[in-house]
Amino acid sequence: MEMAILSQDEQEQEVTQTDAGSACRICIACRKAYEAESLLRFVVSPRLELVFDVKGYAPGRGAYVCANENCFQNALKKRAFNRSFKGSILVDDANLLTSIKENLLHRILENLGLAYCAGQCVVGRTKVQEDRVSDKIKAIVIAYDLSERSVTELDFDELKQTKDVVVLTGPSKNLMGQALGRSLTGVVALLKGRISDRIICDLLRWQFLKNPGERMNEEIFNG
């Protein structure tokens, strides 16, 4: 039996499955398949403008790119978005990447607030350390501007090894505190649940896009 050869456009829209049954999509820049939720999804607005679909399920045809700046820039240079959407579209090359980061950060902060209201997180270094052996903890988020001394005092090695807990770098202490309706907050433990899954996914995408040492303009998130 001959193997069917998919066109490049068909390959971009092809859905595969992981061993765990998760849907995969192909990055239009590097041509590699990854779980859809780990990629950046783009759609085209009625004005033919390229729009980042932060939630990942906006109606219409979607194009997927790895959550790293190299693939994103390559997609722009190769005009991969135009090819994927089969036509000429408007792309704001200068501001789109910044907009993606800001949208992801907004969603992270929003879901942190929801997790806190729903009792799906443990807040503060002391409480997290007290509850670190809990089987309910799925991830620990540490503010990127937490002092080096405070980070050193956090001992999560045993938790990561025995409980399969991921430790992630998160937004600033100020932004995390605002999202939770508290003062400066440097450490948050996310408990197992759907909200935590969304936060972890968005944090990973945000981290891969964010340059080392980059500080977001927090003024746009205030008020």
pLDDT score for 50:
95
pLDDT score for 125:
78
Residue with tokens 């780990």: 38
Q: DSSP labels for 6-36?
A: PPHHHHHH--EE-TT--EEEE-TTT--EEEG
Higher pLDDT residue, 2 or 44?
44
Where does the pLDDT of residue 211 fall: very low under 50, low under 70, confident under 90, or very high at 90 and above?
low
Q: What is the pTM of this model?
A: 0.81
With a pLDDT cut of 70, the percent of the chain lying above it is 78
Direct distance between the N- and C-terminal alpha carbons of the chain, in angstroms, rounded to an integer? 63
- Per-residue pLDDT, averaged over 73-93, amounts to 92
Q: DSSP labels for 33-100?
A: EEEGGGSEEEEE-TTSBEEE-TTS--SS--EEE-SSHHHHHHHHHTTHHHHHTTS--B--TTTHHHHH
Where does the pLDDT of residue 128 fall: very low under 50, low under 70, confident under 90, or very high at 90 and above?
confident
- With 50 as the cut, is the pLDDT of residue 5 above it? no
CATH of domain 98-221: 3.30.1330.30
Residues 9-58 have pLDDT tens digits of 444 455 554 444 568 999 999 999 999 999 999 999 999 999 999 998 89
Phi first, then psi, for residue 40 (nearest 5°) are -95, 125
pLDDT score for 130:
73
Please, are residues 206 and 108 in contact by the beta-carbon 8 Å criterion?
yes
- Per-residue pLDDT, averaged over 79-90, amounts to 92
Where does the pLDDT of residue 74 fall: very low under 50, low under 70, confident under 90, or very high at 90 and above?
very high
H/E stretch holding 138: strand 137-143
Mean pLDDT score of the chain, rounded to an integer? 82
> Range(s) for CATH 3.30.1330.30 in the chain?
98-221
Where does the pLDDT of residue 84 fall: very low under 50, low under 70, confident under 90, or very high at 90 and above?
very high
Residues 141-167 have pLDDT tens digits of 999 999 888 888 777 666 556 567 888
- Per-residue pLDDT, averaged over 87-104, amounts to 91
pLDDT score for 148:
86
Beta bridge partners of 213: none
Q: Give the integer Cα–Cα distance in Å for 41 and 143.
A: 26
Question: Tokens at residue 144, please?
Answer: 């990127």
CATH superfamily of 8-91: YlxR-like (3.30.1230.10)
